[in-house]
Chain A
């Protein structure tokens, strides 16, 4: 009994320690956002300072924050919904009606993630130019859907595999069509898995920087382009950069906190048989 309590204390302490280490950079960024530029570069770092909102004011004055946030939300949620719409039927088919080629197909899908994206930049750029998709939310949404699809299918596939086939069979015996089986049985059973997959896809799209910086310039630019505009090769703008970064991660941080429970239960879904 005592051993248990002690072990619990130690694991709690360890968890706190790891959480603090992981959270420290974000905390430091938040603190720096409220410093003046001189305080931001002071060594040793100043812990006590008069906070200022000057950086936020300047960031608001210089950039159209609202447009960036809207683009980020539209692109990450839009691409996630699209990816799920394609991936759920695909994973369903692969999990419950596998053929000889299913493992190979899965592996092939994942292999598309192994190519460095810069290798296809020019062809993609030309395609986007000819289709009039450069600097549009639609274009970015399409490319994120394609980028995240392999991961989404893989994750859903593993979740669906854990749903007992007997339940599906019982449904079929009762005369359910494949569509009914998918919507009335599988999706309700796998909600935590689908939710955590969706959340992962949203976060990946939110943070994606390569394509968003290369394919958009102003009208379709999401928050990654907004942060990039505060990084400077000549000059010290750490406080402003921190303020901009804080504003860029705030929405997704809130979404993450709100869905924490879903995420954790989704990630361990089916971990224990």
Chain B
């Protein structure tokens, strides 16, 4: 008995020594489904790398962004792995905040990552973050309602068609709304969606001299259609609906159509989370005048702040979490519909995935055809589809989002809203020193 106690305590002492010697990697991330899976499966990474201990800091997207910005800008080194989006990567890389990924092993096969995704995460030809999952936007619809109304959905509908169908399918007495769209103000909420609509209507945020063009006829046409669609055929209180609210509406059978992030496909298709899992259809996002900029591209990527003191261990973790073998691991342990989408060509060549996930092809098509370097019909000075790749955009987007939400809620007319938005954006840009 005594011997066992002794040997146990020796074992415990040995274990505590190795635990002390381990490098701790602090990972800042968001509470999205794919990240939760990563956190769960990371136990296996820790088993394979006993010298690395992972510490997770999970925060809401905007809180995380503020937290990371403060930490990295003050070089405090609290984070070794940062989960950031395609919007931040080039801006932060330009500031010299991120460590570039160079000399990745052949085994990692960086060329397997989709070109459009890699472009979004590069700055001056160097890759500053590795994509964990990527998304575009697409149209979700209820196959049963469309069948009943005798409408056939083309692979890529037009906005005119969508307007007509929304009226036809709307049955407010039965609690079914023709269309659900984001209305909640914010640069990552209603503005992300509206940007795609405006771009497809032929409009743009800025002209080649960085002058805002929110008072253009294209903006007016797009915003008017948006407001009318939601007010006539949308759910009540649409001005407070974001991605989650619309997901819940669609999943409980209240929406005939919904245009939003492709990641919703996996969630709507999952019978544990959706009451319409067997009657969801997928189509490309609708187009107005042009296909350019009609759907967005976004990546959630993992990057290493320059201030990190565990860069080697962080690199090992990131190359594990974004590798082909990680995709395989999720497929085997969690299920193939749950693998992180939109990053690797090999995922889409895997028959196990394409069989399990009928939305795989439309999603891939949307991601590959989105070109953030040419988002507009006429020439524009910026990159980004649902955002403009400049640091000022968070403020601009939120201002514009709030005025449009006010127009949607009926507090002002579309003309007033766009006029107000134009002058506030002009002011912000002038203060930031553009157009001189």
Q: Which residues of chain A have a CB within 8 Å of any CB of chain B?
A: 36-38, 41-43, 62, 121-122, 125-126, 129, 134-135, 213-214, 217-218, 221, 225, 228-237
Contact = CB atoms under 8 A, between A and B. Distances in A.
Contacts of A218: 26, 55-57
B70 A125 contact: yes
Given A122-B70, A214-B67, A229 B247 contact: no
Nearest to B67: A214
B78 interface: yes
A217 B252 contact: no
Given A235-B32, A235-B33, A62 B39 contact: yes
A230 B57 contact: no
B76 A236 contact: no
Contacts of B341: none
Interface in B53-82: 55-61, 63, 66-67, 70-71, 73-74, 76, 78-79
A134 B70 CA distance: 12
Contacts, number: 101
Contact of A41 (B36, B60, B248): B248
Interface string B38-55: 011000000000000001
Q: Is the interface of B mostly helix, strand, loop or mixed?
A: mixed
B123 interface: no
Nearest to A234: B32
B394 to A, nearest CB: 15
Given A38-B274, A218-B55, 12 more contacts: A37-B273, A129-B76, A213-B67, A214-B66, A217-B26, A228-B58, A231-B60, A232-B33, A233-B32, A234-B244, A235-B267, A236-B248
B254 interface: yes
Given A218-B57, A231-B60, A126 B261 contact: no
Interface string B190-233: 00000000000000000000000000000000000000000000
A43 B244 contact: no
Given A218-B57, A234-B263, A235-B33, A38 B74 contact: no
In the A-B complex, the 10 residue pairs with the smallest Cβ-Cβ separation, listed nearest first, are A229-B58, A232-B31, A41-B248, A231-B60, A217-B57, A129-B76, A233-B61, A235-B33, A234-B32, A218-B55
A134 B32 contact: no
A228 B76 contact: no
Given A213-B59, A229-B31, A38 B243 contact: no
Contact of B251 (A41, A234, A237): A41
Interface residues of B, number: 43
26 contacts: A41-B251, A41-B252, A42-B252, A121-B70, A125-B70, A129-B74, A213-B63, A217-B28, A217-B57, A217-B67, A218-B55, A218-B57, A221-B57, A228-B63, A229-B31, A231-B60, A233-B30, A233-B188, A233-B243, A233-B244, A234-B30, A234-B33, A234-B261, A234-B263, A235-B33, A236-B273
A43 B253 CA distance: 9
Q: Is the interface of A mostly helix, strand, loop or mixed?
A: loop
B32 A38 contact: no
Contact of A217 (B39, B66, B78): B78
A237 B188 CA distance: 20
A41 B254 CA distance: 12
A38 B272 contact: yes
A252 B9 CA distance: 38
A228 B66 contact: no
Nearest to A123: B74
A229 B252 CA distance: 25
A221 B67 CA distance: 13
B422 interface: no
Contacts of B61: 233
B275 interface: yes
A217 B79 contact: yes
Contacts of B73: 122
A236 B247 contact: yes
Contacts of A38: 251, 272-275
Contact of A37 (B36, B70, B272): B272
A213 B242 CA distance: 23
B261 A125 contact: no
Nearest to A37: B273
A234 B267 CA distance: 10
Nearest to A135: B78
A69 B40 CA distance: 22
B251 to A, nearest CB: 6
A122 B273 CA distance: 41
Contacts of A231: 31, 60
Contacts of B249: 43
Contacts of A121: 70
Contact of A134 (B39, B78, B242): B78
A226 B188 CA distance: 24
Contacts of B36: 62
Contact of A43 (B56, B74, B252): B252
A209 to B, nearest CB: 9
Contacts of A225: 57, 59
Contacts of A230: 31, 58
A199 to B, nearest CB: 28
A122 B74 contact: yes
A38 B276 CA distance: 11
B31 A134 contact: no
Nearest to B266: A235
Contacts of A43: 248-249, 252, 254
A245 to B, nearest CB: 14
